[in-house]
Chain A
Amino acid sequence: MKRISIFLLGLVLLVFACSDEQENSSRDALDDASSGDAISGDTGQQKEDYAFIVNAAPDYKSATYSVMKISDRSVSKDKDVIFTDAVAKSYNDLIYVVNRLGADNITVLDPKKDFALVRQFSVGAGTNPQDVAVYKDKLFVSKQLSNTIEIYSTSDYSKTGGIDISKYADADGNAEPQDLLIYKDKLYLTVLRLDKNNFYAPTDKSYLLVIDPASSKIEKEIELGATNPFAGLALDAENERIFIAETGSYGANDGRIEFYSISSGFITQQIIPESEWGGDLNRIAYAKNRIFTVISDANFNTVLKSYDLVSSKMQTVYQANGFSIAGISVFDNSELYLCDRDSKKPGLRIFSVDDLGQKTTDPIDTGLPPVSLIFFKM
């Protein structure tokens, strides 16, 4: 009995020793990220925060992705090639890269295995996928040149169904669905309705659809106050609202930011028109009662602006040279990351959400200039 106990104790000690070794390995691997080497996920430690950065060459002829560790801002640059027009989302510890018109595929990567390819599948040549969202075992894909929101299984990525939105198509026959947002068992979808035969100018109206992802049924359609919600959606989970950035026609200052109340299911009275922003809405983000937008003014110069919802104060946070600010994203409700595509000094800039001060003296080099980024844990 005593011998068995000692043996079992030894076995336990051996197990713990191996675990330490694994943790050390994973720590080494994460440390290795700073040198641009393989990045692998931990097996037991608290997860670290990372940014998956979509880059594109200044001429948009080539694109890559980079990975940045938030804690020390170390970047593994240009880890691999993606398509020249791409966006990324993170769900269930996987990265979904939406490669748009020309590639028309979804590429699924596993960050825990140094972003090894899980699956790459076509969603239909020439259909121009825009966005993805995952709800349980369903992957929803919106495609600009399709009136069906396609549904794929997240286990084998086979097509399992679709949501027909053809009733929202305009005269050119396309509805132009774009952004997908999953929040509390609801799927939110923007429908742009642009005129393909008139340089994709907005038509008479655009929509926000509320969909039950479990049944794939459209529960509600909300006609927006302005058109062309191209600049996207931003979620305020604390106050249960979604901000919708509606660009309208370019150069016309006819767009606005509208507030959709999740609890009531309606657009509120409050709006912030483009005339107040001072240009076309390009991107939107939200943190701590501040709405952040990227505006392009009449001379196509891009500027990052902040609107304080409490004080109703509009501020310029960062003025760029030319049309060089691309995507913005909020990290941990405390920092705003900005993709600066300046031709001579591109990179990521970080701003404090609280005082709007820039935390970076020089942009963080991401390899090719950054276009957009998402955050994930690993």
Chain B
Amino acid sequence: MPLYELKNIAHQYNGHLALSIDHWVLESGRITGLSGPNGSGKSTLLKLLGFVERPTSGQIFLNGRKTVPFDAVVRETVALLPQATFLLKRSVYHNVEYGLRLRGLSRLTDNRVREAMSLVGLDFDHFAHRPWYALSGGEAHRVALAARLALRPKVLLLDEPTTSVDAASAQHIKSATLYAHQQWGSSVVIVSHEHQWLHEISHEILYLFQGKLLGSGHRTLLFGPWLPADDRKVYMLLIGEQRFEAPHPPPEAIHQVAAIAAIDLSILPHDNVMVPAPGRLQGTLTSMSLERITGRIHATVGMGSVVFHVVVPPEIFNRGGFTPGSAVWISYQPDDVVWY
């Protein structure tokens, strides 16, 4: 039985469609990353999964049962950490134990608070009685996460948990997230722009754009300007007079944003003898990260202001020649380009 099933979901803010999902299933016991540009609907989706908001239309099933905000099953199962840190005007201890009291778990309070604070790297003796206003931004965010971890939730939803915190706080948050999944079997959904972490931790990364789920894996979005080329094609000019060619956008592509999935791009080291050609581009390898679950390498290739996301299969990577900063080729089939 899937953890979540969303059917015909549409969610609007003041008449603006923020999210539209016809059908989506999320399996239990996995870590799922949500990626996409700002305004793509990631946080909205997370709020709906956390039952903080009710969708404008459509149905959400949790563990096979149609569920709405304030249902008992939600209160016992799901914990959401919003992007904006909000603490009650109380001590750290009382902030962390607040959720336990709400859920009628007061008898567990002391042990759970100690455990949760330890998981996020906050020393109990130093921080427990510190008031909310005596915390740094990173500490406050860790307290907020500790309040969720104290509940040992079956579903943990994290919205940009490592944004605007320092490296040490981010590391504690990442470790605590992994601990929740490994020790308690929590299903975790993470919205983050930190691609490397998402690749390291997630079983699957879903990409959203303009309120729609585009599917699994990263996309490179190209916003133009688009110029006419031969043979009913258009192109976007990249650094070094290179052309990213794509089929002519269909009339229904309102914004004329082209996207190509990371899986549809091939990569080769620059020492391979190749010449520029349509569907073949030269750039600089800017980063590489391991997709821990699949064993594949996720690479980014920069071409001026455009960064292409590429998946490198292990057999290609093992041939060598891939070091950040080195020149590489990427190639694609123009037919794989999708318009929005």
Chain A bound to chain B: no
Interface residues of B (CB under 8 A from A): none
